Structure 1
Amino acid sequence: MDKEKIRNLVDLAIQENSELFLIDLQFLPENKIYVEIDGDSGVSLNECIRVSRGIESNLDREEEDFSLEVTTPDVAQPIKVNRQFIKNIDRTLAIRLKNDTKLEGILKKVNSNSIELEWKTREPKPVGKGKITVVKTTTVSFEDIAEAKVKIIF
């Protein structure tokens, strides 16, 4: 199987829609091709079909048999590429850092090397008894993130 040709076909199919981006491309045993794509505002079933057809129509099953799976990210899976952070601004993330610290907050900003999280917490009043709600923020470098997942809230 010509992996470079398939990579080029995947790139060409994705480039037809500037909102799409590649998450993962794997060549699995028994000539299975696994393509995972995402989009800045999601991916429709029609887009998955279009990408699949764009790849498959340029490969010859007579030459070599294969199976092709074009899919979108599972909501329970961690974020794999930085561009996914941008599409999840204003959503709650659960993050585990490389030092095993856990953070949870609303993704507010994304730049080229970090993200900003915001969350509310209850703290003792500076004067008197009781607690007040305080909004906190922190900046987290991409290189410090071991895993980040979008938290599903019902």
Structure 2
Amino acid sequence: MSTTQSERLRELLEPLVDSRELDLEEITVTPAGRRRVLRVVVDSDSGVQLDTCAELSREISGKLDATDAMGEGEYVLEVTSPGAERPLTRHSHYVRAVDRLVRFRLTDEAAAETGAQELTARITKVDEDGLDVTVPGVKGRRPTTRRLAFRDIAKARVEIEFNPRSQSTQEAPGVAGTGDAHGPGNA
């Protein structure tokens, strides 16, 4: 059975990524003029530092030079993290986004039930079936909590917050929220 280049690259590179206690999120090879771009996306529960990406890039480059995994021709290697506004597509992505503000696009069925296609809320808890979120209060109203099943989410993306509340100023767990629009409500 034949495997794709991405699958061969994953088999080759995953041990290097795992040895740094990172997750290999994505491998893509795209044409760019006469060259190709090999993009390796890594992540962890605590994020990825720039120095870690640079060190991993050197290791991956050495491994690729020692094999023919990229075949003939020039390529550019890019080792990166998913970025600030990453789409959430796996359970682990949602777990890593706890306490983050997320924009959800609901499925047509869920939107018909709630009357809204989109929802922006802060993830407070994730389990195997879905997540608990806190919807920020609007116009002086208190934040509300809500349960979202994974089956009701069509798309989700972390929102950039320029003034997020720091962990030290968040309310105690289980206490009803009186926070502003950026607050998590209850944890």
User: Under TM normalisation by the shorter chain, which class is it?
Assistant: 0.7 to 0.9
CA distance in 1: counterparts of 2:67 and 2:23, whole angstroms: 30
**SS in structure 1 of the partner of residue 41 of structure 2:** strand
Task: Give unpaired runs (5+ residues) of structure 1.
Answer: 124-131
CA distance in 2: counterparts of 1:135 and 1:62, whole angstroms: 55
**SS in structure 2 of the partner of residue 10 of structure 1:** helix
Code of the aligned partner of 1:152: I
Higher strand share: 1
Please list the CA deviations of residues 69-121 of structure 1 after superposition, one character each: whole Å capped at 9, or x if unmatched.
11111223422333122222112111111226211111100112311111243
Residue 106 (structure 2) aligned to one of 93, 97, 103: 97
CA distance in 2: counterparts of 1:120 and 1:68, whole angstroms: 41
Change in CA separation of 1:122 and 1:56 when aligned onto 2, cut-off 3 Å: closer
**SS in structure 2 of the partner of residue 58 of structure 1:** helix
Change in CA separation of 1:67 and 1:136 when aligned onto 2, cut-off 3 Å: same
Residue 117 (structure 1) aligned to one of 103, 120, 133: 133
The list of structure 1 runs, each at least 4 consecutive aligned residues, that deviate by more than 6 angstroms after superposition, is: none
Code of the aligned partner of 1:25: I
Residue 80 (structure 1) aligned to one of 74, 84, 89: 89
CA distance in 2: counterparts of 1:62 and 1:51, whole angstroms: 17
Task: Give unpaired runs (5+ residues) of structure 2.
Answer: 112-116, 163-187
The number of equivalent residue pairs is 145
The higher relative CO (CA closer than 8 Å, separation ≥ 6) is in 1
Identity percentage over the alignment? 29
Normalising by structure 2, we get a TM-score of: 0.66
* 1:11 pairs with 2:14: yes
Deviates more, 1:42-51 or 1:76-85: 76-85
What's 1:35 paired with?
40
